[in-house]
Structure 1
């Protein structure tokens, strides 16, 4: 894929939709493009967060380890960002993300991620929207779980 094709792909991701093409070209050029085979791990729960990933193609599963085994909490696809919580909160990875099918992703280092947020506040707004959406979905799942386990 050419740099121009990557720029076009990035423009179709809501997180980057309002960023000028020249800046997206810089992002595409300074990011590392990685490929993962099915079951290969993009990031592992508990590891230090040194980068975020943007899924360009394919599907990945987000799993959280619990005492009774791993639980899949989400599926990610084209345009989804993963790994940003560990970077933003400076905490270990909160989940393990692995490819369900072949995945192509852009790896954005912590330094580049913060530079983008500083230069383009709309990226921070989109990240907040995404995180708020995830929190709402998690709360809904928790409500459902509590309702199902409550005595009838």
Structure 2
């Protein structure tokens, strides 16, 4: 089952985030004291500087989320918990990561790392120098593997919490190579910065022939195979930086012309049709590159027929 991670954009998804936080923090883990509202939110959720990355299941339901907040005149969620700024050099761009939660059935390393990968991508795309995060120590190992360091060994406490936390600070220069490469590849290959990522396991189907398509994809890492529309034999191998699924966006009926399967664990960025076509319209170089790619795939199809 593919994993889809994107910025929350609808009222339904945002409402589900608040309710999922309550489910995880109050019911499953007993980390936050419940207030009877069946939702967990604070004033930072209303700030334009805050964005929520959500994990969506096959039914388009939120099963996990994390909040990122760019520094602003009012302050950050991290400031409410610890004096992170005392550990920052002057004139450095700061971002807060908070409200990290995933419901129990979906709690695994692939989803957790996917959320954190998108946070680091967002940070690098917005020229962030440091990331601060007050975190439950149980997920400390994960954040340390990324490159973050605890600013104290002593647990910190807040009145509304049922447990202690540790303040972690990540210097982007110390970012783990895997996360740094993911962010840089996204910035290099994702020409419209859609901030929507999908993760596929080896053998999972990405595109189904004859389905209606409303997006294209660009491979950040991993490989995929395009199957011949008639023989179903492998027709083309797609690798890092390749765009695929774009043919349907140029056709009158938007119908997919071939099946595409992941041939390794792979991460792709999703390019919505409207933004993708606008990018092609305003960037002739991108259009020429796509024409070369489409021509090559058509040639392979003709040679194998």
> 2 CA distance for matches of 1:46 and 1:71?
17
Q: 2:304 and 2:226 mapped to 1: Cα distance?
A: 15
Equivalent residue in structure 2 for 1:86, among 245, 248, 273: 248
Partner Cα separation in structure 1 for residue 229 and residue 292 of structure 2: 25
Cα distance in 1 for partners of 2:283, 2:210 equals: 29
Structure 2 runs not aligned, ≥5 long = 1-116, 125-179
Distance 1:93 1:71 in 2: 17
Q: Does structure 1 residue 132 correspond to structure 2 residue 282?
A: no
1:57 counterpart residue number: 221
The structural deviation recorded for 1:79 is 0.8
2:196 paired with 1:32:
yes
Classify the secondary structure of the residue corresponding to 1:113. helix
What residue number does 1:73 align with? 235
Q: Give the root-mean-square deviation of aligned CA atoms.
A: 2.1
Matches within 5 A, 1:85-104: 85-90=247-252, 91-104=254-267
| Residues 115-130 of structure 1 mapped to structure 2, 5 A cutoff | 115-130=278-293
Tell me if structure 1 keeps the 8 A contact 2:236–2:300. Answer: no
Question: 1:65, CA displacement in angstroms?
Answer: 4.5
Aligned-pair distance for 1:118?
A: 1.6
Q: Which residue number in structure 2 is paired with residue 105 of structure 1?
A: 268
Q: What are the superposed Cα offsets for residues 16-62 of structure 1, whole Å, 9 maximum, x if unpaired? A: 7xxxxxxx5xx22x241110011111110000011000011111111
Answer with 1 or 2: which has the greater Rg. 2
* 8 Å contact kept, 1:51–1:109: yes
> 2: distance between equivalents of 1:11 and 1:116?
15
| Matched position secondary structure for 1:70 | coil
Give CA deviations for 1:49-89 in whole Å, capped at 9, x if unaligned. 110000111111111353xx522111111111110001112
Q: Which runs of 5+ in 1 are unaligned?
A: 17-23, 143-152
Q: TM-score, structure 1 length as denominator?
A: 0.73
Aligned partners of 2:235 and 2:304 also within 8 Å? no
SS at match of 2:304: helix
* Equivalent in the alignment of 1:41: 205
- Looking at structure 2, the residues matched to 137 and 40 of structure 1 have their Cα atoms a distance apart, in angstroms, of 23
